[in-house]
């Protein structure tokens, strides 16, 4: 029997008081809260009050698992019955130049896994997968749940935006977290990430928890706390979860910016490793790690060595590229990925060069991300329009030796003012010193 609105609001007030006083929520309590958030029967001021109480008196691990399931059950769950198993998903906590999904998803699908993934738009210096996909002419990311299932059955891969019917409580609560300064609450982060994975039907989830100045986790300790919480809560919620911590002190790969990142992803799908730039090789290394990890933990490879061999064979044979082409065409793309000339280009493309020889000691991901944001590659607010063509190409990584005059960063700008701003700021991001500096490994802590 449906609750009366008055009674529902009374119940929400009781939940606020329980959380405020450090009490314990039952699964039924959290179901009520998430249902009220999903159907908007609770006013925003009550939900905001509960979020602040939950920020100050965090949910326990058991409560977080119940909260995760309650958000997943607040709307429709994708029923992947009939989609070939294993069902897998991947999530990154966000970073500068992170275009991993664009290569990893078709690579996994070409290896025989089914990848059904809901992705988001970028905000601030962290780019969004959906924005990058929209740099591919004709590509759509707005797909209804049944169409997502049908596409996954047919080709084993679909990447789309979160629909209104999937984890709607998370959509409501996330928007309120953004305006109430409660985004950084660990249980709320964990619930938000995992609820969408459960609603999307995944059984195995691999998590890329970024660590460093270009991520939401500035220290290794912070990243480890988040990674461990995601794994423990995910298992309590019935998921097969694995989390690795990866470096975000410097950008991931060469490209920062939507069309530029699509181009780099295509290069990894089309070129042998020895034809890639040193910064793109680092990105490829990360893709290869997560692909092999997923094959192993989902049961398709008996060992790490076998998994790596399968990944390399799938890339070198062109099967991953063919799957990527099949995927983008299924979502409306009108271009051939292997052809050149169809990606939008910025009108001004100039490099910033090293003024002396030495070793690269710093490639600050946050500063470079901020430069790309100012150029128009990202959003300052949720309503901001992005410029798909602009961004940066980073030609060096920490530990590289450079000579005087060697390009450090290439700026792709809409106008002279944008280029000059980027040129003047690159010096704050990239440092060259006279003494050797050890390179930074891409993997901080394996899963």
- The one catalytic residue among 25, 171, 196, 412: 196
Integer CA distances (angstroms), 289 to 118, 239, 417, in order: 21, 21, 40
Please indicate whether residue 247 is annotated as part of the active site.
no
Comparing C-alpha atoms, which of 144, 153, 146 is closest to residue 83? 153
Please indicate whether residue 154 is annotated as part of the active site.
no
Cis check: omega of the bond before 210, within 30 degrees of 0: no
The whole-angstrom separation of Cα 345 and Cα 362 is 28
- The one catalytic residue among 19, 25, 90, 91: 91
Torsion of CA 267, 269, 271, 277, to 10 degrees: 40
Contact 167, 72 (CB under 8 A): yes
The whole-angstrom separation of Cα 40 and Cα 47 is 10
- The one catalytic residue among 92, 119, 185, 192: 192
Please indicate whether residue 222 is annotated as part of the active site.
no
- The one catalytic residue among 73, 98, 131, 170: 170
Residue written as token pair 């950084």: 184
Comparing C-alpha atoms, which of 99, 29, 91, 32 is closest to residue 59? 29
259: its two tokens: 């069309």
Please indicate whether residue 91 is annotated as part of the active site.
yes
Please indicate whether residue 309 is annotated as part of the active site.
no
The whole-angstrom separation of Cα 402 and Cα 160 is 41
Active site residues: 91, 170, 177, 192, 196
């Amino acid at each position: 029997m449906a609750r009366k609105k008055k009674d529902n609001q009374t119940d929400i007030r009781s939940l606020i008081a329980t959380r405020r006083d450090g009490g314990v929520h039952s699964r039924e309590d959290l179901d009520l809260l998430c249902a009220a958030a999903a159907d908007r029967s609770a006013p925003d001021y009550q939900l905001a009050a509960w979020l602040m109480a939950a920020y100050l008196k965090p949910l326990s691990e058991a409560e977080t698992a119940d909260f995760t399931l309650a958000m997943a059950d607040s709307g429709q769950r994708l029923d992947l019955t009939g989609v070939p198993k294993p069902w897998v998903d991947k999530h990154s906590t966000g970073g500068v130049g992170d275009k991993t999904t664009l290569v990893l998803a078709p690579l996994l699908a070409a290896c025989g896994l089914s990848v059904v993934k809901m992705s988001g738009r970028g905000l601030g210096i962290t780019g969004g997968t959906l924005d990058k996909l929209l740099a591919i002419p004709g590509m759509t990311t707005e797909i209804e749940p049944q169409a997502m299932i049908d596409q996954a059955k047919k080709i084993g891969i679909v990447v789309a935006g979160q629909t209104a019917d999937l984890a709607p409580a998370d959509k409501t609560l996330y928007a309120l977290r953004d305006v109430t300064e409660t985004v950084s609450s660990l249980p709320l982060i964990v619930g938000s990430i995992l609820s969408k994975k459960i609603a999307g039907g995944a059984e195995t989830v691999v998590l890329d928890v970024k660590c460093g100045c270009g991520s939401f986790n500035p220290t290794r300790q912070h990243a480890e706390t988040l990674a461990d919480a995601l794994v423990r809560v995910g298992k309590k919620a019935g998921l097969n979860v694995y989390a690795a911590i990866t470096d975000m002190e410097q950008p991931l790969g060469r490209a920062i910016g939507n069309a530029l990142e699509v181009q780099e992803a295509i290069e990894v799908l089309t070129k042998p490793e020895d034809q890639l730039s040193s910064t793109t090789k680092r990105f490829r290394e990360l893709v290869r790690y997560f692909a092999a990890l997923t094959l192993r933990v989902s049961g398709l490879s008996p060992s790490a060595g076998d998994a790596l061999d399968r990944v390399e064979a799938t890339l070198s044979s062109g099967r991953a590229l063919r799957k990527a082409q099949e995927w983008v065409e299924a979502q409306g793309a009108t271009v051939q990925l292997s052809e050149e000339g169809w990606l939008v280009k910025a009108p001004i493309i100039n490099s910033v060069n090293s003024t002396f020889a030495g070793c690269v000691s710093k490639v600050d991901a946050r500063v470079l991300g901020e430069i790309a944001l100012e150029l128009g590659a990202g959003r300052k607010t949720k309503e901001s329009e992005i410029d798909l063509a602009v961004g940066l190409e980073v030609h060096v990584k920490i530990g590289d030796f450079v000579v005087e005059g060697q390009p450090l960063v290439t700026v792709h700008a809409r106008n002279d003012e944008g280029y000059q701003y980027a040129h003047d700021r690159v010096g704050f991001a990239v440092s060259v010193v006279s003494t050797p500096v050890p390179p930074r490994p891409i993997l901080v802590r394996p899963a």
